[in-house]
Structure 1
């Protein structure tokens, strides 16, 4: 599995201001609806339900919200760079400005876990996150994310 399998260029966005974690969930869902043709309200409900089980802020300014979606055929992602970090109830209590959301089919056990592992492993790289934070252009962000694994594989 590769980032290019999860993410389309139109599923990458820079958000000027978000007021809360709930607002970010709505923005994620709206972006997924536009980029992937998914139903935004279904996504918001699924993301908030998953978040109620435990926060998806993984630390170092990164959050990985994710949910299983009935009827979805493949694992899909969206990426948000927040210009102003927000509280995401992260494990290290640091505000979040990098958000990569994943949506998986209900029955995609292994594929969902592989996608989460790929995103988590990639966004643990402080250098990569620094590049993401320094480039507020969606096309550049897409390139950084999709080329990150190529460089690591070399």
Structure 2
């Protein structure tokens, strides 16, 4: 499994600002619907439901919201770079500006966990996060994310 199989170039967006965590979830829903055809409302509902179990803000300005949904045939992702960080109830109480969301089939088990581990490893790399934050072009961001893994594996 690699990020190029999970993250379509069209699923990367740079957003100037969102007013809240909930608004960010709506951005992710719109992105998932536009890219993968997953109903935006269902995405927002599933992400918020998952957040109610505990925040997915993992620290250092990174959030990894994720959800299992009906109507999803494979694990897929969406990435948003926020130009203005938003409060996300992160574990370190820092606002979030890098958001990598995962959407998985409801019955996905190991594949969902493997994807989450892969994304988590990638987003823990400080040099990758620095590169992401210094770019505001979606195509460049996609390249940074998808090439990061091949460099790590080498």
Q: Given the two structures, how large is their TM-score scaled by the length of structure 1?
A: 0.99
Give the Cα–Cα distance (whole angstroms) in 2 for the partners of residues 3 and 130 of structure 1. Answer: 18
Q: Hey, what does 1:64 align to over in structure 2? A: 64
Q: Hey, what does 1:92 align to over in structure 2? A: 92
Aligned residue pair count: 154
* C-alpha displacement of 1:21: 0.2
1:151 aligns with 2:151: yes
* C-alpha displacement of 1:71: 2.4
Q: Hey, what does 1:106 align to over in structure 2? A: 106
Q: Hey, what does 1:9 align to over in structure 2? A: 9
* C-alpha displacement of 1:70: 1.1
Give the Cα–Cα distance (whole angstroms) in 2 for the partners of residues 21 and 67 of structure 1. Answer: 16
Identify unmatched segments of 5+ residues in structure 1: none
CA RMSD of aligned residues (A): 0.5
Q: Hey, what does 1:21 align to over in structure 2? A: 21
Runs (4+) off by over 3 Å: none
Give the Cα–Cα distance (whole angstroms) in 1 for the partners of residues 96 and 75 of structure 2. Answer: 23
Q: Given the two structures, how large is their TM-score scaled by the length of structure 2?
A: 0.99
